[in-house]
């Protein structure tokens, strides 16, 4: 079975309520982010549930929150298949999906039908056929259609799978997008950044986020760098990204101490989660480890996190030194 078919079957099983992963009920894990109380600091990263079809069920798999998307204003099929590849020996996935999704209106229907109070974020992207000079309007249209149904919204300009998208990470282009979105809505806004940017570029985006009073930064998206031989193009996620994602998280925290930081990339164990929180993350997300560790991944990682806290004499996740 190819990786995308396996992914879709797994998502269908979750959305049908056939899969449970266990919930870790422990007040030591409670924290605050996105203006909400979370049961724990571990969320599902964007890309797994692109259309919010399983929004009502992620809590049952032990997550503290979930991010839906990436969502574009209109439906689009994404890039040609095959476009997702698993590398289990490396704990990695490469995808070049290209923002395949059912469009903003369908996502609204799905989230309203879910009627969940579980904290949800929505990851916003531009349409693949939208010229870069019109990108700000796409993000504006997206948030207009989706506003009021999520706890936070993410401007995704860092996916490597939409041609030219990463050019929008230039600060002056990002400022145009944020200004356009702010004309439409005052929702909590985050920017998702690439691990492939230089330290100087990351610092400039972080300073911009502070200047424009964004809620925070998602650090990081997938990488185009390769640490094992493959000719497959696309964004690499999983264990090979862990060290760089942690490094970026630490840099963002040094510059943007007042921002909320969502750490994502290569988190497979409770020790990984612990280290990312120590690096400055407010909360974290997983994707690839959910694929490889299965539906109990969140519960396993959170229990391992509690063991790390016990080892170091930390009574609450909010007391982990950043």
Catalytic (active-site) positions = 159
In sign, the C-alpha dihedral spanning 267, 244, 99, 148 is positive
Nearest to 230 by CA among 95, 98, 97, 47: 95
The four Cα atoms 66, 72, 74, 76 give a dihedral, to 10 degrees, of -90
User: ∠260-117-74 over CA atoms, to 5°?
Assistant: 75
User: ∠61-63-67 over CA atoms, to 5°?
Assistant: 115
- Beta bridge partners of residue 32, listed in sequence order: 37
- To the nearest 10 degrees (0 to 180), the angle between helices 171-184 and 135-146 is 30
The phi-psi region of residue 59 (left if phi > 0; otherwise alpha if psi is between -120 and 50; otherwise beta) is: alpha
List the alpha helices (DSSP H) in 147-258. 171-184, 199-211, 242-255
Q: What are the C-alpha distances in Å from 90 to residues 31, 45, 81, 242, 266?
A: 32, 20, 22, 12, 11
> Do residues 239 and 91 touch, judged by C-beta distance below 8 A?
yes
Q: Which two tokens stand for residue 269?
A: 């164990």
Q: What are the C-alpha distances in Å from 92 to residues 5, 70, 235?
A: 17, 20, 10
Q: Which two tokens stand for residue 144?
A: 């207009």
> Do residues 128 and 156 touch, judged by C-beta distance below 8 A?
no
- Beta bridge partners of residue 217, listed in sequence order: 191, 261
């Amino acid at each position: 079975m190819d990786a995308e078919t396996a992914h879709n079957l797994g998502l269908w099983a979750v959305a049908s309520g056939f899969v449970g992963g266990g919930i870790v009920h422990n007040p030591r894990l409670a924290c605050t982010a996105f203006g909400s109380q979370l049961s724990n600091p571990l969320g599902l990263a964007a890309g797994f549930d692109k259309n919010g079809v399983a929004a009502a069920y992620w809590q049952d798999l032990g997550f503290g929150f979930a991010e839906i998307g990436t969502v574009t204003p209109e439906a689009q099929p994404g890039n040609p298949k095959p476009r997702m590849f698993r590398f289990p020996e490396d704990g990695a996935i490469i995808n070049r999906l290209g923002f395949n999704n059912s469009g903003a209106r369908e996502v609204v229907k799905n989230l309203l039908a879910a009627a969940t109070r579980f904290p949800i974020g929505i990851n916003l992207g531009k349409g693949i056929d939208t010229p870069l000079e019109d990108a700000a309007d796409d993000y504006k249209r997206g948030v207009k259609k989706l506003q009021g149904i999520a706890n936070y919204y993410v401007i995704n300009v860092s996916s490597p799978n939409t041609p030219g998208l990463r050019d929008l990470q230039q600060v002056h282009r990002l400022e145009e997008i944020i200004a356009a979105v702010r004309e439409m809505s005052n929702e909590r806004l985050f920017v998702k950044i690439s691990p492939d940017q230089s330290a100087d570029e990351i610092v400039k985006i972080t300073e911009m986020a502070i200047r424009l009073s964004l809620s925070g930064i998602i650090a990081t998206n997938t990488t185009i760098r390769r640490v094992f031989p493959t000719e497959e193009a696309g964004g690499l996620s999983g264990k090979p990204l862990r060290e760089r994602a942690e490094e970026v998280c630490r840099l963002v925290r040094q510059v943007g101490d007042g921002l909320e930081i969502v750490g994502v990339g290569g988190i497979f164990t409770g020790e990984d989660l612990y280290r990312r929180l120590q690096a400055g993350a407010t909360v974290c997300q997983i994707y690839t480890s959910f694929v490889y560790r299965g539906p109990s991944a969140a519960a396993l990682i959170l229990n391992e996190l509690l063991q790390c806290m016990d080892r170091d004499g930390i009574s609450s996740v909010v007391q982990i030194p950043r």
